[in-house]
Amino acid sequence: MSVFGEAALSAFLELLSGKLLDSVLNFVADHREVHQQLKLWQSILPEIKAVLNHAEEKQIKNEDEGVKNWLDGLQDLAYDVDDILDDFAYQELRLKLQKTQAQACTSKVQKLIPTCCTGGHFSPISFIFNAKMISKIKAITDRLSSLNTRRSSLGLSEIMSQGATSKGNKPRLQPTSLMDGAVEYVGRANEKQEMLELLKSNNSDGVCVLSIVGMRGMGKTTLAQLVYNDPSIKESFDHKSWVCVSDDFDAVNITKTILRSLDADSRDENDLNLLQVKLKEKLSGKRLFLVLDDIWNESYNDWTVLRAPFEVGTKIIVTTRLEKVSSNVDSVKAFYLDKLSHHDCLSIFAQHALKASNFDGHPQFKEIGENIVRRCNGLPLAAKAIGSLLRTVTDQSEWEKVYKSEIWDLPEDPCGLIPALRLSYHYLPPHLKRCFAYCSIFPKDYEFEEEEIILLWRAEGFLQSKAKIQDKGLGNQYFQDLVSRSFFQISSKDKSRFVMHDLMNDLAQLVAGEICCRLEGEKQQKFSHRSRHSAYVSDDRYHIVKKLEAFYQMTSLRTFLPLMALRYDEFFLSNVVLDDLLPRLSYLRVLSLRGYKIHDLPDFFENLEHLRYSNFSRTQINRLPDSLCTLYHLETLILRDCSKLKNLPSKIRNLVNLHFLDIRGADSIKRMPSGFDQLTKLQILSNFVIGEGDGHLIRELKILSSLRGNFCLSGLENVNGQDARETKLNEKLGIDGLELQWGVDFENSTRKKEVEERVMDFLRPQKKLEQYIIGNYDSSFKNLSSLKLRNCKNCKSLPSVGRLPLLKDLSIIGFDQVQKIGVELFGEIQLNPFASLEILSFESLPNWKEWHTCEGDEKVLKLPSLRELSIKTCPQLLGRLPTHLPSLQKLEIHWCTSLVVSISSFPSLCELSVEGCAELVDDCSSPAKELSSFQTLSLSNISKFNIPVDRTMLRFGTSEHFEIGGCKELTSLSQHGFSLVGHRFISVSGCPQLQSLEAEEAELQPNKISRVESLKIAYCDRLNRLP
C-alpha cells in the first residue's frame, strides 16, 4: 500500500458494507453459521473504515512500517471478501434463473430439476455451502478480527478527514468544465511566435529541427501542441503528424505512425527499409510538419536512421528533457523552458481555480492564492493541478488547509513527483482516487476514449451510487471530474481521446502500489501475488507463453487487458494462454483478446463466473462457446469487427446483467437469437438484425426501455407493420441516433411498398432525435441537428425538412426516382426555412432535373446560414444554382454535366471546386469585389468558361491554392483572367492545348511570382513558356 492509497481503500470498504446490507444476508439466512459470520463482518468493517483517515495521517508523517503492513493486509482481505460476496451473488442469480426456467418447462422436464429450485421453499444451501466454502468464510472472519485487534496496538483511532475540500457541505463555486480551449495559455507566447516564424520560413536547405528542452512539468508538450494546432500550420504544410516517443525510440513504430497519419489505409510492414521507401514516396514534393514528443534516446545513429526519408521542407519539433538529445538532432534552435514567473504562474492558477485571469473578482483569495502559487515553484503543471483542486471551493479556510498541508514538505520520491500532484490526489474524493489509481495500468502516452474507461470502471465495480443514477451518467461524471482536475487531458493528436501527463502516470503508479501492474516490452513492473489489475502492451506480433508467464503468479487477477501498440497490426496468441493460463484466472472481471488472430475460443467461461467485461473485437472467431451464457454477471460484450462471427449464442437471454452489446462490423450475423426481451438492463445495443422469417423477434425490443445512444435496425424487409408497431420505438427516449436498414435486394418480389411504408411509420422514433439515417422522414423532430437521407430508391419526393429549426447538416444520397426538388423540401408555408442549415449535400440523384428554390417570394429568406454546398453525380440537373447564398464559403459541384455553375452572388466564398460541369459563368448580376479571404480554387473538366477577365482577377486573383486540369480546349490562362501572380500553390495538368501561362513574358519573371511556393505542371503538351 502506498502512502496515498488509504482513501481509495475507504471507498472499497464502503462498497463491501453496502453489499452486506443488500441481498447477501437474506440469501444466506437459511444457513445459520454463515449468516452469523457475515453479520460479524458487517459489524467489524465500519470499525476498521473509521480509522483509515488516521492511518493516512501516520503514513504521510513518517511512513510507519507497521501501519503500511496493516493496510496491505486490509487491502488483500477486502478483495477476498468481495470475491466471496460476488460468489454469493452469482449463485443467487443462477438459482433464480433456474427457477424461472423451471416454471416455464413442461412437468416432464420439471421432474429433472432439483426440488430445491422448483419447490415452494427456495434454498441455495445444498449448492454452495460445502465444507470448503465455510472454511474460507471462517478464515476471512479470523483475518478480519485480527486486523481489528491490531488497529488498537498501532494507535489508530477515528479522526476527521483532512480532505475536506472533496466532501461535505462546503459552499462551492458553480462547477465548470476545463475542456480544450476553455483556458488561455500563459507564459510562452514569445517562444510560440518565434517557433511559428521559423517553421513557416523557407530559408532551410534541408530538414529543419526545433527542440524544446526542459524538466518535467514545464509545459514542453503543451507548447508543442499550441504550435501544432495553430491555423497557420495547416496552411503552410501538406501534412502534419504527432508521435509520442518516450523512452522507446523504435524507428519502425515511429515511421509506421507517421505513415498512418498520411494514409490511414497503408498496409502494415515491419521492414524499416520498405517503410521508409513508402514514406519517401508519400512525401515526394510535399511539406511535412512533425512533432516527436518526449525523446530520451541519446543515440545519434538512431536519429540519423529515422530522419533518412524526410524531404527538404520537412519541419520537426522535438521535445526532450535532455540537452544531449537537442544537440544530436541538429536543432536550428533549441528553446529552453525555465520556470515561469510568479505573475504567469499566478495567472494559470487563477484560470483553473477561479475561471479568471486574476483575482480582481475574488480579492478575498488573493493573498492565500499568492502564497499557494509560491509553493508551486514556477511549475505550470503544479499551478494547474492545485488550481483545478480548488476550482469549486469558496471556503477560505479550505484554501488555508491546502497551503499548510504537510504534503508540501514530503521528501522527493524516486520518480521526481512534485508535491502539488501528491496534494491534488490527497484531496480527491475516495471514489475518484480508486478510479484514477486503476489507470496506472495504462502505459505512458496511451490514448483512451471516455467510454472505454467508463466500461472498465463499471466492470471493476467502481461506479457505485446510492442515488438511482445510470452507470453511464455516473461514469461520465467521474471521468469529467478527473478531466476538470487535470488528472486527464485531451490528446494532442485526437480531440476525442484523452491521455495522462507523464507525471500523472507516475502518480497513478505510486498510489496504486502493487495492486496494479503493467508489462511493457521486456520490463516487468511490481509483479506480485498481490496484483489484481494488469495490462500489457502488444508490441510483438507473436505472444508466446514466456512473455506472459508473469501472469501465472497473479492467481487473484481481475484485469487481463492487452493494449495494441499499433491499431492495424495482426497479433497472434499462443494456444497455451487460451487453454491453460486464462482458465486459471478465475477471479477475472475484465478479459480482452481484442485484435488477436484467434479463430476458436476454448469453452472456459464456466471458470470465469466473476467476469463483467469481455472484448473480442477484431478477432477471427466464428462462434462463441455456449459457456459464455453462464456469465450471469457479464455487463459488457464487445464483438466489433468480428467479421467471421455468424451467430450470437442461442441462450443469450441468460446474460441478465448485460448492459452493453456492440456488434458493429460483425456483418456475417444475419439474425438475432430470441430472448432479448429478457435482457432488461441493456442500455447500448449497437445493432439488431432481423433474419428472414424472424420478423416477430423485433417485438422483443418493446421491453428494452433503457436503450440509449446510437441504434441500428437492419433486415427490416423481413418485418411487417404490426411487428414494427409493437417495438414502441418512440418511447425509447434515450436513443439519439437511429439507423433503419432494409436489404439491398430491391428486386425481391416479396417486398411490398405498402408494407414497408407501414413499417417505417410504426418505427417512428422519439422527437428529440439528433441523427436519423434512412427515408420517409417525419418533420416533427424539432431538436434534430443532423439528418442523412440515403438510398430510398422508390421515393419520388423529399420530406419538408426545411421546417426543422435546429437542422445544421443535411445529406440527401441515392434517391433514384426524384426528378424535382422544390417547395416540398422547404415547407409550403414556412417563412424562414432552413434557418440554421450550414451544410447541404446532394449525391447520386441520377434523375434529378430541376431545383426550384422559390426565390421569387421576397418575404421568405431561404438558406441564410448555409456555409457549405455540395452537389455530386447529378448528371441530369439543369439550370443554375440558387443566386442568393450570402453566407456560402465552400462550394463543390462534381460531375453534374448539364449544370451551369454561376458564382455571381456568393460574397463570402472561400473555396470553390468545380469538376465535370457544363459551364462556369459569372452573369454580372452583382458588382464584382475582391475576395481577399479566398483560399482554394479547383477547376477540372469544365466544358466552357464564361467569366469576364476583370471579374476573374478580382474574385480569384489572390487564392492560396489554384488548381486547373482536364480542360481540353484551354489555350491560355490569361484569356480567362487567370494568373500565376498572387497564388502560393499552383497546379496545372491535363490541358493539352495550353500554350501560355501569362499573356506577357514579363509576368513570368521571378519577382512577379515571388509568392509562389509550389508550381506543378503536367500533361500540357503544347506549353512553350515557363517561369
DSSP string of 156-219, one letter each residue: ------S-GGGSSS--BPPP----TTSS---S-HHHHHHHHHHHH----SS-EEEEEE--TTS-
pLDDT at 177: 38
pLDDT at 542: 65
pLDDT at 128: 61
Q: How many CB atoms lie within 10 A of CB 273?
A: 10
CA dist 529 and 524 (Å) reads 14
Highest mean pLDDT, choosing among 34-43, 143-152, 631-640, 932-941:
631-640
Q: What angle do CA 773, 777, 779 make, to 5 degrees?
A: 125
pLDDT at 117: 46
How does pLDDT run across 540-599, given as a tens digit for each residue?
666 666 778 888 888 899 999 998 765 556 788 888 889 999 999 999 999 999 989 899
Q: How many CB atoms lie within 10 A of CB 81?
A: 23
pLDDT at 922: 72
Average pLDDT, the chain: 83
pLDDT-wise least confident of 75-89, 97-111, 264-278, 652-666:
97-111
* Strands of 516-592, DSSP E: 516-520, 523-524, 533-538, 542-543, 559-564, 572-573, 590-592
pLDDT at 837: 94
The grid coordinates listed for 731 are 418511447
pLDDT at 662: 98
Instruction: Find the helix or strand (DSSP H, E) in which 241 lies.
Output: strand 239-246
pLDDT at position 949 over 80: no
Q: Cβ(34)–Cβ(141) under 8 Å?
A: no
CATH topology of domain 189-336: Rossmann fold (3.40.50)
How does pLDDT run across 957-969, given as a tens digit for each residue?
678 888 999 888 7
pLDDT at 184: 63
pLDDT at 494: 82
In the sheet with 239-246, reading across from the earlier edge strand, the strands are 239-246, 288-295, 315-320, 208-213, 333-336
How does pLDDT run across 879-904, given as a tens digit for each residue?
777 777 888 999 999 989 888 887 76
For residues 642 and 44, the model is more confident at 642
pLDDT at 710: 92
Q: What angle do CA 885, 890, 892 make, to 5 degrees?
A: 100
pLDDT at position 631 over 90: yes
CA dist 491 and 479 (Å) reads 15
The residue among 487, 520, 483, 498 whose CA lies nearest residue 421 is: 487
Maximum Cα–Cα distance across the chain: 105
pLDDT at position 933 over 70: no
How does pLDDT run across 166-198, given as a tens digit for each residue?
444 343 333 333 333 445 677 888 999 999 999
Intra-chain end-to-end CA distance of the chain, in Å? 73
Parse the chain into domains and list their residue ranges: 6-162, 189-336, 960-1027
pLDDT at position 694 over 90: yes
Q: What percent of the chain has pLDDT over 70?
A: 84
For residues 289 and 1024, the model is more confident at 289
Highest mean pLDDT, choosing among 46-50, 65-69, 394-398, 454-458:
454-458
Q: Cβ(708)–Cβ(683) under 8 Å?
A: yes
Tell me which residue has cell 492565500: 368
pLDDT at 480: 93
How does pLDDT run across 214-256, given as a tens digit for each residue?
988 888 998 999 999 888 888 788 888 998 887 778 888 888 8
Please state the rounded mean pLDDT for residues 644-653: 95
In one-letter notation, the amino acid at residue 924 is C
Instruction: Find the helix or strand (DSSP H, E) in which 45 lies.
Output: helix 32-49
Q: Cβ(79)–Cβ(532) under 8 Å?
A: yes
Q: What percent of the chain has pLDDT over 90?
A: 33
Residue 989, phi then psi, degrees to nearest 5: -150, 155
pLDDT at 170: 41
How does pLDDT run across 438-476, given as a tens digit for each residue?
999 999 889 999 999 999 999 999 987 655 556 668 999
pLDDT at position 803 over 90: no
Classify residue 458 by its DSSP letter: H
pLDDT at position 96 over 50: yes
For residues 763 and 1011, the model is more confident at 763
Please state the rounded mean pLDDT for residues 836-864: 80
For residues 414 and 249, the model is more confident at 249
How does pLDDT run across 725-774, given as a tens digit for each residue?
999 999 999 998 888 888 877 666 777 778 888 888 899 888 787 777 76
Cα–Cα distances in Å, from 627 out to 174, 610, 654, 655, 670? Answer: 50, 13, 11, 11, 22
pLDDT at 433: 92
The residue among 895, 937, 900 whose CA lies nearest residue 915 is: 895
Is the pTM higher than 0.75? The answer reads yes
pLDDT at 1027: 66
